[in-house]
Chain A
């Protein structure tokens, strides 16, 4: 069992890197073209003071792109995985509190965001997706060595 895991682990790490890195890269790339909207999506969570929400709206897409690139290329995988997991944890908290408080917003995860009709919220699927990505980040933190990486 252990030996089997050791054989497959580098490939699982590669897959985890490509999925988490790919999602982060796409999510960031879809947002950088419209920073007004990105900041608006963060404000719509009604969680942070306006100035900090706007700051995050401008910075977050670039951080996602940076982390995505590092994970895909396989550089600093352990720490990038940890950061990815931390970001996902923050997203889960943000979405869950919006849900619990009865806000009706789009998560703005891949562009978009802001208020939507209450029938159009997708909180559960958004949280489940982010839990999956959080798991990948944690896996990468513990098992950073994988195939096709610049890290040796």
Chain B
């Protein structure tokens, strides 16, 4: 095959374009994965707690709960252990920090936003439960949109305009990116992940059994 400078030019141009695509992609990835310090954050959120929603800030020990509202295993976790965890919260037996992750996609972001809006109304625990109880079949099914979350809020007694506006405006959408970035730094590699005093529970035994879950929390200092 005859080679000429035209072929070589095309080849080099293609290499340059591919390198360019990769470089731009990598730069874009880093920028979009960074924490946004200008994002609006809910009142109960603290940066030092990985941008999580903090309940009982002065209690000890600390329980970190990493979930995605579209994750089926998280729904199962909530059904099995949510009642007990909510009892721990109600009786202030621990500081509980919820980290709503959003790697399953857009409807996880909207759900996390709605949960954060409910937190501002002091109704996070009920909203958290309602979201899991109403988790759609299939990811990003189209069912979870703003109107849905406003109605869901009303069903648990949140009727304020600020809540409705917060949900409709996606007020805390950018905050979910901060939660994601902080969770990545905290080496959370699946949901649900529950940590007590920074130590993760055993995924294979302690999430699916209320007795073992209670025992794990007790071992971590929940009386």
Question: Taking beta carbons and an 8 Å cutoff, which residues of A are in contact with B?
Answer: 32, 34-37, 39-41, 43-44, 46, 50-51, 53-54, 58-59, 61-63, 65-66, 69-70, 73, 75-76, 104, 114-115, 118, 150-152
B112-130 interface with A by 8 A CB criterion: none
B214 smallest CB distance to A (angstroms) = 22
The verdict on B215 contacting chain A, using a C-beta distance below 8 Å, is no
CB within 8 Å of A: which B175-223 residues:
180, 184-190, 203-204
Please determine whether B15 and A37 come into contact, CB atoms closer than 8 angstroms.
no
Known: A69-B21, A114-B189. A35 touches B14 (CB 8 A): no
Shortest beta-carbon distance from B39 to chain A in Å: 16
With A66-B21, A151-B11 in contact, do A118 and B29 touch (Cβ < 8 Å)?
no
**CB pair A152 B7 closer than 8 Å:** yes
Q: Tell me, rounded to whole Å, the shortest Cβ–Cβ distance linking A101 to chain B.
A: 13
Q: How far apart sit A21 and B21, CA to CA, in the bound complex (Å)?
A: 16
Interface residues of B, Cβ cutoff 8 Å to A: 1, 3, 7-8, 10-11, 14-15, 18-19, 21-22, 25-26, 29-30, 32-33, 101-103, 105, 180, 184-190, 203-204
Hey, which chain B residues are within 8 Å of A34, CB to CB?
Answer: 103, 105
Give complex CA distance A152, B1 in Å: 7
- Lowest 6 A-B CB distances belong to which pairs? A62-B25, A115-B190, A58-B29, A43-B189, A66-B22, A44-B189
- In angstroms, Cα B102 to Cα A66, docked, is 27
Extra 9 A-B pairs, beta carbons < 8 Å, given A40-B103, A70-B15, A150-B11:
A34-B105, A35-B32, A36-B103, A36-B180, A36-B184, A53-B187, A66-B19, A69-B18, A75-B15
Contact B190 A44 (CB under 8 A): yes
Pairwise interchain contact A35-B29, C-beta atoms closer than 8 A: yes
Q: Chain B residues near A58 (CB, 8 Å)?
A: 26, 29-30, 33
Cβ contacts under 8 Å, B30 to chain A: 58
| Given A36-B184, A58-B29, A63-B22: A76 touches B15 (CB 8 Å cut-off) | yes
Whether the Cβ atoms of B14 and A150 lie closer than 8 Å is yes
Partner of A59, one of B15, B18, B29, B101: B29
Give the distance in Å from the alpha carbon of A24 to the alpha carbon of B90 in the complex.
Answer: 50
A-B Cβ contacts below 8 A, count: 88
* Contact B203 A115, beta carbon cutoff 8 Å: yes
Q: How far is the CB of A48 from chain B (nearest CB, A)?
A: 10
A152 to B29, CA, bound (A): 34
Complex: A23 Cα to B98 Cα, angstroms: 38
Q: Which residues of A contact B103 (CB under 8 A)?
A: 34, 36-37, 40
Chain B contacts for A61, CB-based, 8 A: 25, 29
Task: Report the Cα distance A40→B181, complex, angstroms.
Answer: 11
- Distance, CA A32 to CA B19, complexed state (A): 16
Residue of B nearest to A66 (CB): B22
Residues of B within 8 A of A62 (CB): 21-22, 25-26, 29
Q: How far is the CA of A66 from the CA of B187 in the complex (A)?
A: 28
- B204 and A118 contact, CB distance less than 8 A: yes
- Shortest beta-carbon distance, A118 to chain B, in Å? 7
Q: Which residues of A contact B203 (CB under 8 A)?
A: 115
Q: A58 vs B7: C-alpha distance in the bound complex, in angstroms?
A: 33
Bound-state CA distance A61–B30 (Å) is: 13
Contact B11 A39 (CB under 8 A): no
B19-A73 in contact (CB<8A): no
Q: Which of A40, A54, A76, A150 contacts B7 (CB 8 A)?
A: A150
CA distance A115 to B3 in the complex (A): 51
Q: In the complex, A58 Cα to B26 Cα: how many Å?
A: 7
Which of B3, B7, B25 has the most A CB atoms < 10 Å from its CB?
Answer: B25
